[in-house]
Amino acid sequence: MQAQAPAQVSQAGRASAALVERGKYLAQAGDCIACHTAPGGKVFAGNRAMPTPFGTLYAPNITPDPATGIGSWSADDFFRMMRSGRSRNGELLYPAMPFASYTKVTRADSDAIFAYLRSVPPVRLKSRGHELRFPYNNRSLLIGWRTLYFKEGEYVPDRTRSTEWNRGAYLVQGLGHCAMCHTPINALGGSSQERAFQGGLIPMQNWYAPSLTSNKEAGLGTWEIQDIVDLLQKGISRRGTVYGPMAEVTYNSLQYMSDADVRAMAVYLKSLPADRPVNADPAAAPTRANVAQQFSRGRRVYAAQCASCHGADGRGMPPHYPPLADNQSITMRSAVNPIRMVLNGGYPPGTRRNPMPYGMPPFAHEMSNGDVAAVVTYIRTAWGNRGAAVTAQEVDALRAATVE
């Protein structure tokens, strides 16, 4: 019996290491680092500020420090938080923590994430208190919010669907918490299941998360599965490029996920019901939109600043310089994203499969609000695109909002 003990210990150690590694993978799938690591701070030490329409929330320390982190928590405590949205002491969590999605996570996956978090270096750093306006600083009001918008319970597989589809649904609806950004948020900070994935403005980041159910926005009904996989995993594909908050998701999370899991997510996302047909009418949008003057000004700006990369015909040089003609992200009902890109520029994330991405320089310093409005109007209405015109006032509001 004694001779077998070292082998038994070794086997237990290997199992523990495997559990921690699986937990790391799942924590990446959940993009935990994005909220729980402040810029320049220690990993998972918390205190990252999250501005909201109700005030500023600060993510807690989730390192295994027993005094200021989760070092004194048990696996049961952690699972109860994931499933019910309540802290170890029973305190209701604010829904910036995506417990409405994490409630779908299995006990086994929760235990693996907890094992991983217990393995990271502990950091002694007290979590900063939230700074919310009255009455939102009254946690008892969360009872009403939870009644309206929170349904507790693990993901239930759809027996009429494939194993791959269900895996994708579990990841998208659960750990990926994709609906948090891609579903409209009302004045109470809630979103209804009936409008899931229909797109909405992300107020704390001044970006628009497009509808995943509309083929006029980011609906994927006409995309090939591989193009969806490439966009999620690499950050670029033949059909589009990720920028802004989605670039962070790809950088922190999706690039590390397995080919099988990303494909499963793509299969599920492609299956979301389309609420609008693809608009293939090539009629001249500028005439119908009555923006002839802006169109002419925008065409001049485009020729001087944009055509060298995106082409005079708007076809670009994909995947590095994306096309603007017939580009759903350009013609969405919200013009926030193309305005942000012209003002602030941006790069796709540097990923393992696209380590040296091409980017776009900012033009805020050399273009007036009128020029930005004109060129965005031009790309939203040229080449058969059917977006609406943009005003200088819209540009000015975003210019002011994005000043650091």
Q: What is the pLDDT of residues 294-316, one digit of tens each?
A: 899 999 999 999 999 999 999 99
Task: Clarify whether residues 265 and 307 are in a common domain.
Answer: no
Angle, vertex CA 156, rays to CA 172 and CA 28, nearest 5: 30
Name residue, tokens 């918490």. Answer: 177
Task: Clarify whether residues 273 and 160 are in a common domain.
Answer: yes
**Which pair of tokens denotes residue 7?**
């082998």
Reduced DSSP (H G I as helix, E B as strand, rest coil) percent helix, strand, coil of the chain, to 5: 45, 5, 50
Q: Which residue has the higher pLDDT, 208 or 126?
A: 126
Task: Clarify whether residues 231 and 274 are in a common domain.
Answer: yes
Sign of the Cα pseudo-torsion (5, 11, 12, 17, in order)? positive
pLDDT tens digits, 155-188: 999 999 999 999 999 999 999 999 888 888 877 7
CB 349 within 8 A of CB 235: yes
Instruction: Look at residue 259 and tell me if it is in a domain.
Output: yes
- Which residues are within 8 A (CB) of 62 and not within 5 positions of it... i.e. 6 or more apart? 32, 36, 44, 46, 69, 70, 117
Q: From residue 175, give the alpha-carbon distance in Å to each of 159, 200, 291, 331, 339.
A: 21, 20, 44, 30, 31
CA atoms within 13 A on the CB side of 360: 27
Task: Clarify whether residues 263 and 315 are in a common domain.
Answer: no
Q: Which residue has the higher pLDDT, 401 or 23?
A: 23
Q: Which of 250, 278, 306 is the last residue of a domain?
A: 278
**Which pair of tokens denotes residue 261?**
């899991």
What is the reported pLDDT for 104? 98
Domains identified in the chain, total number: 3
> Taking residues 44-61, what's their average pLDDT?
93
pLDDT surpassing 70 at residue 403:
no
Task: Clarify whether residues 24 and 133 are in a common domain.
Answer: yes
How high does pLDDT run on average in the chain? 87
What is the reported pLDDT for 346? 85
pTM for the predicted model, two decimal places = 0.82
- Which residues are within 8 A (CB) of 164 and not within 5 positions of it... i.e. 6 or more apart? 263, 264, 267
Task: Clarify whether residues 270 and 311 are in a common domain.
Answer: no
Instruction: Look at residue 4 and tell me if it is in a domain.
Output: no
Q: According to the 3-state scheme, what is the secondary structure of 64-97?
A: CCCCCCCCCCCHHHHHHHHHHCECCCCCECCCCC
Task: Clarify whether residues 168 and 270 are in a common domain.
Answer: yes
Across 97-183, where does the E strand assignment appear? 131-132
> Taking residues 234-238, what's their average pLDDT?
90
Q: Which of 278, 302, 332 is the last residue of a domain?
A: 278
Q: From residue 48, give the alpha-carbon distance in Å to each of 40, 58, 92, 130.
A: 10, 5, 19, 11
Cα-trace Rg, the chain: 23
What is the reported pLDDT for 13? 52
Task: Clarify whether residues 181 and 265 are in a common domain.
Answer: yes
Instruction: Look at residue 330 and tell me if it is in a domain.
Output: yes
Q: From residue 8, give the alpha-carbon distance in Å to each of 14, 15, 115, 361.
A: 10, 11, 20, 58
pLDDT surpassing 60 at residue 281:
no
Task: Clarify whether residues 125 and 214 are in a common domain.
Answer: no
Instruction: Look at residue 327 and tell me if it is in a domain.
Output: yes
What is the reported pLDDT for 291? 67
What is the reported pLDDT for 165? 98
91 forms beta bridges with none
What is the reported pLDDT for 320? 82
**Which pair of tokens denotes residue 372?**
């930005």
Structural domain that includes position 80: 16-141
Q: What is the dihedral of CA 67, 68, 69, 75, to 10 degrees?
A: 40
Instruction: Look at residue 80 and tell me if it is in a domain.
Output: yes
Q: From residue 239, give the alpha-carbon distance in Å to each of 109, 272, 315.
A: 33, 18, 11
Task: Clarify whether residues 270 and 289 are in a common domain.
Answer: no
Task: Clarify whether residues 289 and 274 are in a common domain.
Answer: no
* Total residue count of the chain as it appears in this document: 404
CATH number at residue 380: 1.10.760.10
Instruction: Look at residue 11 and tell me if it is in a domain.
Output: no
Q: Please give the share of the chain, as a percent, with pLDDT higher than 70.
A: 90
CB 383 within 8 A of CB 306: no
What is the reported pLDDT for 278? 44
CB 275 within 8 A of CB 196: no
State the DSSP code for 314: S
**Which pair of tokens denotes residue 142?**
């969360």
> Taking residues 126-154, what's their average pLDDT?
92
- Which residues are within 8 A (CB) of 147 and not within 5 positions of it... i.e. 6 or more apart? none
Assign 220 to helix, strand or coil: coil
* Burial classification of residue 130, based on how many CB atoms lie within 10 Å of its CB (0-12 exposed, 13-18 middle, 19 or more buried): middle
Phi, psi dihedrals of residue 157, rounded to the nearest 5°? -60, 145
> Taking residues 66-86, what's their average pLDDT?
97
> Taking residues 30-58, what's their average pLDDT?
94
pLDDT surpassing 70 at residue 21:
yes
Name residue, tokens 């993901």. Answer: 155
> Taking residues 319-329, what's their average pLDDT?
85
Instruction: Look at residue 10 and tell me if it is in a domain.
Output: no
pLDDT surpassing 60 at residue 277:
no
> Taking residues 198-221, what's their average pLDDT?
78
**Range from 38-47, 59-68, 161-170, 350-359 carrying the lowest mean pLDDT:** 350-359
288 confidence band (pLDDT: 50, 70, 90): very low
7 confidence band (pLDDT: 50, 70, 90): very low
**Range from 51-65, 175-189, 244-258 carrying the lowest mean pLDDT:** 175-189
- Cα–Cα distance, 62 to 82 (Å, whole number): 13
Task: Clarify whether residues 250 and 190 are in a common domain.
Answer: yes
Name residue, tokens 């002839």. Answer: 292
pLDDT surpassing 80 at residue 26:
yes
Catalogue the long-range contacts made by 151-160 (C-beta closer than 8 Å, 24 or more residues apart).
Answer: 151/100, 151/103, 151/193, 152/83, 152/84, 152/85, 152/103, 153/103, 153/104, 154/83, 154/103, 154/104, 154/105, 154/106, 154/107, 155/104, 155/105, 155/106
Instruction: Look at residue 150 and tell me if it is in a domain.
Output: no
**Which pair of tokens denotes residue 119?**
């393995």
Q: Which of 231, 255, 278 is the last residue of a domain?
A: 278
What is the reported pLDDT for 402? 62
- Cα–Cα distance, 95 to 145 (Å, whole number): 9
CB 171 within 8 A of CB 265: yes
Q: Which residue has the higher pLDDT, 292 or 120?
A: 120
